[in-house]
Chain A
Amino acid sequence: MSTYTFLLPIAIPVAAGILTLLVPARARLAVSLLAVVATAAQLASAIWIFPMDGALSVAWLGYGIEASFRLTRFSAFIVVAIAGFSFLVTLYSTASMSKAPSTKPFFAWMLITAGLACGAVLADNLVLLVVFLGALLLTQFGMIAAGARRPYAVAIKAVVIVGLSDMCLMLGIMMAAHLAGTLSMSAMKLSLDGMGGIAFLLMAIGALGKAGAMPFHSWIPDAAREAPLPFMAILPASIEKLLGIYLLARVSLDLFTLVPGSWVSLTLMVIGAVTIVLAVMMALVQKDYKRLLSYHAISQVGYMVLGIGTALPIGIVGGIFHMINHAMYKSTLFLSGGAVERQAGTTDLSKLGGLARSMPVTAVCFIVAAASISGVPPFNGFFSKEMVYDAALESGWVFYAAALLGSLLTAASFLKLGHAAFFGRRAEPASGGTVPAVREAPLPMLVPMIVLAGLCVLFGVVNRIPLDGLIGPAVGAAVTGGRSFAGFPASQMLVGFTAAALLLAILNHWYGARRTGHGLGAVDHIHHAIFLEPVYSVAEQGRLDPYFIGRWVIGGISAALYAVDRAIDWVYETLAVTVAQGISRVGRRLHNGSVNRYVLWSLAGAAAVVITAALVLGGSR
C-alpha cells in the first residue's frame, strides 16, 4: 500500500469519466459497462481503504495552500457511502436511461462527480476543498444539462444558487484562515466569538447550500421536473446531502466548537426547523411523484441541520445518522419514482394508481422507504428522528414541535403518494381507451432499490452497525463521550408522541380520502384551507422562490442603473454636443465678415487691456 492508495476512489471514476468522453456515443453498451465497472471499482477501493488511515500533503500554490488529503474514520465512512450510492445509481441508470437519446454525457459527468465528491471529502486543505466544490458545480451543471428538456434554465439556476453558497463558503474560509493562520482543516480550531461566529455562519451557509436547506433549495424541485431521475437520486438525494452535512459536521465539530445555546447554534436550529416545516408543507400539496419527493429532500435536511445545530452529542450523532438514512430511503424513493416513470410513462399522480399489483417489488421497496422517512419503527428513519427529537426538546420545545409537525405532515404526504400511485384504481386516460398494461421494472433497476430498502431495515433493526460502527468512531469520543446511542430510544414519552403523530396522520388520510373519494385528494382539506390556500397559490407560482425574488431585485437595480447610465450618456451624447454646437453657431453668426465689426472688437479689446492694466496697477499702488 502506497501513500497514494487512499486517493483511488477519486482517481478511478474521474479517469473513467474522461475515458467515457472518448468512447463513441453510439457504443451505448460500452459506456454503460464502463460506468458500472468504474463505480464498482470505486466502491471496492473505498471498502479497501476504509480501515486505513492516510494523510498526504503535496506542495501546491504556496502561501499555505497545499494539495493535502486526509483519510479519517469520518471521511472514510462518507467515501464508502458516496461510492456505494454511485454504484447503485449507475447500475440503475443503465436500465432507466435506456430510452434516453444519449447516455454518454450523463454517465461521464456522473463518474467525474462521484470522483470529485470523494475528493471534496478527503481534502484537508480548505482551498483544495473549494476547488473540488467548484468543479462539482460544473459537473452538476453538466448532469442537469445532459438530460433535461429545458436544460439551461434549471442548470443555470442550480449553478447560481449553489455558486452563491460556495461564495459564502469562500468568504468564511478567508476569515477563518485569517483568524487561525492556517488553511489546514485538521490544524484549525477556532472559537465562535466575534469574527469567528461570522466565519462559522458563512462556512455553514456553504455547507447548507450544498445540502439544499432553505433558502438554497429552490432549484431542487425544478430539477426534479426537468433533469433525468438518476440525477435526483445521486445528487440532491444522496451525494449532496452527504457532502453538505459532512461539511457542516466538520465545521461544527472540528474547525469550530459549536456550543449549545450559543447564537450560532440557535441560528442553525432555526434554519433547520423552518426548512422542515416549510418544505414539508410544499411537499404535502404536490401532485407529481418526483416533485413531491424533491420537497422532502429539502425538508429532511432540516432534521440534520437541527440535530447538528443543537450541539448536543445525541443531536450531532442523530443528525449524521439521519443523513445516511436519508440518503438511503430518499434514493430508494427516487429510484421507485424512476421505475414508475419508465414503466407507466408518467409521474403525474392523477394519472397513476393501483401499481402495487403490476409492480410489486417496486411497491414493497417504496413502502419500506416511505415508512422509513415517516419515522415508523423499526425502520432506520425512526431511530435517527428520535435522536433529533431528543436533542430538539432539550434545546427548546418549539424546535421539537416543529420537528414533530414535520413528521406528521411527512407521513400524511407519503400516505397520499402511496395511495395515489400504488393503490386505488388507475384513472382512465382523458382521451378514452383502455389503461395500458404496466409491467415490473427490469432487474438492474430493482436490485439497487432492493439493496437500499434492505439497508433501511438493517440500519433500523440493527442500528448498532451504523451508530457504533460508523458514526461513533467518525465523530470520535470527544463528542460522544464514549456513550452509545444504539438500541431502542430511551425516552418512552417521545416515542409516544411520535406514535400519536403517526396515528393522527393516518386519521387525517382516512378523513381526506373519504371526503374526496380518492387517495390523491387526501390532503385537499389542508391545501384548500381558508388561510392556507392563498399562500399556496403564491408559492406554487414561484413568487416566494428566493431565486426569483433575487432576480427580480437584481433586475430592478439593473434597470435603475441603466436609467442612470442613459441619463449620463444623454449628458455626453446629446447635451454636451448640443451646447457645444450651439456655442459654436452663435460664434459663427457673430463672425459675419464685417471688417467694421472686427475693428470695433479690436479697439474695444485694446481699451479693455489698457484700462485693466491702469486699474490693476492703481489698485496695487
Chain B
Amino acid sequence: MSDVILLLPFAALILINVLPRATRPAAWAIAAVVLAAQMAAVIVPPYWAFLDTIEKTVGFSLKLDRLTQLLVPTAGLAGLAAILVAQAGTATARTKLLFVNLLLIAIIGISGISMVQDLFTMYVFIEVTSVAAVILVVLRDGELSFEGAWKYLLLSAIASVLMLASLGMFLLTAGGVSFEEAASALSAGGAEAWVAAALFLSGLFLKSAMVPFHGWLADAYSEAPPAVSVFLAGIVTKASGVFALMRLAPAAFNGSGPGAMILLVVGAATAVVGAFLSLTQTDVKRMLAYSSISQMGYIVMALGGQPALALAAAAVHFFNHTVSKAQLFTNAAALERQLGTRDMDRMGGIGSRMPVTAGTSAVASLSVAGLPPLAGFWSKLLIVIALWRAGHVVFAVIAVLTSLVTLAYFLSLQRRVFFGTTPAEWSGIREAAIGYTLPALVLAAITVAVGLGFPFLLPILLGGGA
C-alpha cells in the first residue's frame, strides 16, 4: 500500500511528460488531482486493502502509520497552494511545466520520508527532495539568481556527507540501519553509536535549518520564486528536516537521555534566535523565513519533552505551522505580485486595498504567535505542557517568552504593511488574483476551524499520536 502512495506522484510525473505537448498546459491540473488522490488514499481506510494487494508485488521496507497520515495531507495542502500560486504568478508554459515536474519529484521524496523505517531509506528520500528543491529555488522566468540556491546546495552537501558518514558508522557498529537496530545500539551505550547518531542529527539539523545550521535558509527562501517559497517554506524543509527528526527521535531516543537534551537546547536556541532575527527585517519574505526557523525550533524543542505528549504536540504544531506559513508566503507572493516590492518600509495602508490578503495574513500571524482561539495557540500550549510535564521548566518558560517576541514581529509586520494611511504610490493597487486569494482563504479557514474544533480533535490526537 505504502508503495502505491509513493508511486502515485511518480506515475503522474511520467504521465505529464509522456502525454502529447498539447496537454502540457493542463499539467498542473493533473498534478493537483494526483495530490488530492494521494491525500485521499492516505486518509480514507477503504483504499488501504486495495493498495495492499498491489504492494505485495513490490517490496520496500516502508510503513504507513499515523505520521504518514499527518505528513502526506499536510504536504498536499502546501503543494496545492503552491500549484495555484504558480499558475497565477508564472508567465511561461515551460516554467510552469518544470515547476509541476519538480514539485512532483519533491512530493515523491516527501511521501517516502513519511513512511521510512530505516536510516538509509530516509537519507535517500531526503536527497530526492533536496535535489528537486535546489532546482526549484532557481526556477524563474527570466533572470537567474544562483546565490540562494548555491548556499542551499552547499550546505545540503555537507548534510549529505554527515549523514553518509553516520550511516557508515551505524553499519559498522550496529550492524544495520533500521530504526530498531539503531535504537538497540544506542541503548547498549556504545560511544561509536552515539557519535553516529550525533552525525545524523547534525545532518537533519542542517536540513531543518536549526541554529547554528540555519545560514542558508533565509537566502534560499527569499530568493526563490513566490510559488516555490510557498512550497519550500510550507513543507520541503520541514519534511526533510523536522519531520525526519519526528520519525527518528521517538524510535531512537525514546524522549530521554542526551539525545533529548540536544534536541531541547538546539530547538530552544533556534526558537529564540529566529524570533529575534525576524524582529528587524524589512523584507517580508526574509521576516517570514526567520519566523519559519523560529517555529521549527519550537517543534524540535517539543520533541525533547514528555514522550507521549511530545509527539502529539510536535505533530499538531507541524500541521498548524505548515498551514499558516504556506498561507503567509502566499500572502507575500500576492503582495510582491501587486506591489512589485517586498520592502516593508515602502508599504503601509495596503489593508484597505487588499482586504483578503490583509485579513488572512492577520489570522495566520495571530495563529503563529499563539493567540487563542486559533490553531497555533493550542499547539503551543501542548508544547509548553509537554515540556513542563517532562520537568523542563526553563524550556517551557523560553517557549512562552519567545511567543511574545513572535507576537511583536508579526504585529510589526501587520502594522507596517497593512495598517495606516495608504501612500499615493499605492492608491491604484487592487486585490490579488484568485490564484492567490483562494489558497489564502482556504488555509486561513483551516486555521480557524482547527482552532475552534481543537477540543474535539485532541482526544483523537492523543489516542494514537505516539
Interface residues of A in 579-621 (CB under 8 A from B): 580-581, 583-585, 587-588, 591, 593, 595, 597-599, 601-606, 609-610, 612-614, 616-618, 620-621
User: B244-277, CB under 8 A of A: which get 1 and which 0?
Assistant: 0000000000000111011000100000010011
- The reply to whether B279 and A602 form a contact with Cβ atoms under 8 Å apart is no
- The reply to whether B218 and A609 form a contact with Cβ atoms under 8 Å apart is no
- The reply to whether A602 and B215 form a contact with Cβ atoms under 8 Å apart is yes
- The reply to whether A599 and B155 form a contact with Cβ atoms under 8 Å apart is yes
- The reply to whether A609 and B158 form a contact with Cβ atoms under 8 Å apart is no
Instruction: Return chain A residues, CB-CB under 8 Å to B277.
Output: 584, 587-588, 591
Instruction: Return chain B residues, CB-CB under 8 Å to A601.
Output: 212-213, 215
Measured CB to CB, the closest approach of chain B to A597, in angstroms, equals 7
Q: Which of A584, A587, A614 contacts B195 (CB 8 A)?
A: A614
Number of interface residues of A (CB under 8 A): 29
Q: Looking across the interface, which residue of chain B has its beta carbon closest to that of A607?
A: B202
Cα A584 to Cα B279 in complex, Å, equals 6
Q: Looking across the interface, which residue of chain A has its beta carbon closest to that of B218?
A: A591
User: A290-306, CB under 8 A of B: which get 1 and which 0?
Assistant: 00000000000000000
If A580-B279, A581-B280, A613-B258 touch, does A593 touch B199 (CB 8 Å cutoff)?
A: no
Interface residues of B in 271-311 (CB under 8 A from A): 273, 276-281
- The reply to whether A614 and B280 form a contact with Cβ atoms under 8 Å apart is no
Cα A583 to Cα B197 in complex, Å, equals 33
- The reply to whether A584 and B280 form a contact with Cβ atoms under 8 Å apart is yes
Cα A584 to Cα B259 in complex, Å, equals 29
Instruction: Return chain A residues, CB-CB under 8 Å to B158.
Output: 599, 602-603, 606
- The reply to whether B202 and A584 form a contact with Cβ atoms under 8 Å apart is no
- The reply to whether B154 and A599 form a contact with Cβ atoms under 8 Å apart is yes
Instruction: Return chain A residues, CB-CB under 8 Å to B162.
Output: 606
Cα A229 to Cα B150 in complex, Å, equals 94
- The reply to whether A580 and B276 form a contact with Cβ atoms under 8 Å apart is yes
Q: B436 contacts the other chain (Cβ, under 8 Å)?
A: no
Instruction: Return chain A residues, CB-CB under 8 Å to B262.
Output: 609, 612-613
Q: Looking across the interface, which residue of chain B has its beta carbon closest to that of A580?
A: B279
Q: B243 contacts the other chain (Cβ, under 8 Å)?
A: no
Q: Which of A591, A595, A605, A618 contacts B205 (CB 8 A)?
A: A605
Measured CB to CB, the closest approach of chain A to B73, in angstroms, equals 32
Instruction: Return chain A residues, CB-CB under 8 Å to B219.
Output: 593
Interface residues of A in 361-413 (CB under 8 A from B): none
Interface residues of A in 549-605 (CB under 8 A from B): 580-581, 583-585, 587-588, 591, 593, 595, 597-599, 601-605
- Is the interface on chain B under 10, 10 to 19, 20 to 34, or 35 or more residues? 35 or more
Instruction: Return chain B residues, CB-CB under 8 Å to A621.
Output: 189, 191
Interface residues of B in 285-339 (CB under 8 A from A): none
Cα A604 to Cα B158 in complex, Å, equals 12
- The reply to whether B205 and A609 form a contact with Cβ atoms under 8 Å apart is yes
User: B155-176, CB under 8 A of A: which get 1 and which 0?
Assistant: 1001000100000000000000
Cα A535 to Cα B277 in complex, Å, equals 68
Q: Looking across the interface, which residue of chain A has its beta carbon closest to that of B203?
A: A606
- The reply to whether A595 and B151 form a contact with Cβ atoms under 8 Å apart is yes
Measured CB to CB, the closest approach of chain A to B410, in angstroms, equals 14
- The reply to whether B276 and A587 form a contact with Cβ atoms under 8 Å apart is yes
Q: B32 contacts the other chain (Cβ, under 8 Å)?
A: no
Q: Looking across the interface, which residue of chain B has its beta carbon closest to that of A613?
A: B198
Instruction: Return chain A residues, CB-CB under 8 Å to B105.
Output: none
Q: Which of B198, B257, B261 contacts A614 (CB 8 A)?
A: B198
Q: Which of A587, A595, A612, A613 contacts B273 (CB 8 A)?
A: A587
Measured CB to CB, the closest approach of chain A to B37, in angstroms, equals 38
Q: Looking across the interface, which residue of chain B has its beta carbon closest to that of A610?
A: B198
Q: Looking across the interface, which residue of chain B has its beta carbon closest to that of A593?
A: B219
Cα A610 to Cα B218 in complex, Å, equals 25
Q: Looking across the interface, which residue of chain A has its beta carbon closest to that of B162?
A: A606
- The reply to whether B408 and A580 form a contact with Cβ atoms under 8 Å apart is yes
Measured CB to CB, the closest approach of chain A to B300, in angstroms, equals 12
Measured CB to CB, the closest approach of chain B to A605, in angstroms, equals 4
Measured CB to CB, the closest approach of chain B to A601, in angstroms, equals 4
- The reply to whether B154 and A604 form a contact with Cβ atoms under 8 Å apart is no
> 4 nearest interchain CB pairs?
A598-B215, A606-B202, A613-B198, A616-B258
Binding site for B on A (CB under 8 A): 580-581, 583-585, 587-588, 591, 593, 595, 597-599, 601-606, 609-610, 612-614, 616-618, 620-621
- Additional pairs, 16, CB under 8 Å, beyond known A599-B154, A620-B189: A584-B280, A585-B280, A587-B277, A591-B215, A593-B147, A595-B215, A602-B215, A605-B205, A606-B198, A606-B206, A609-B205, A610-B198, A614-B191, A614-B198, A617-B194, A620-B258
| Cross-chain pairs A/B with CB under 8 angstroms, 25 sampled | A584-B279, A587-B276, A595-B150, A595-B154, A595-B215, A595-B216, A597-B215, A598-B216, A599-B158, A601-B212, A601-B215, A602-B155, A602-B158, A602-B215, A603-B158, A605-B210, A606-B158, A606-B199, A609-B201, A612-B198, A613-B194, A614-B195, A617-B194, A617-B258, A620-B257
Binding site for A on B (CB under 8 A): 147, 150-151, 154-155, 158, 162, 189, 191, 194-195, 197-199, 201-202, 205-206, 210-213, 215-216, 218-219, 257-259, 261-262, 266, 273, 276-281, 405, 408
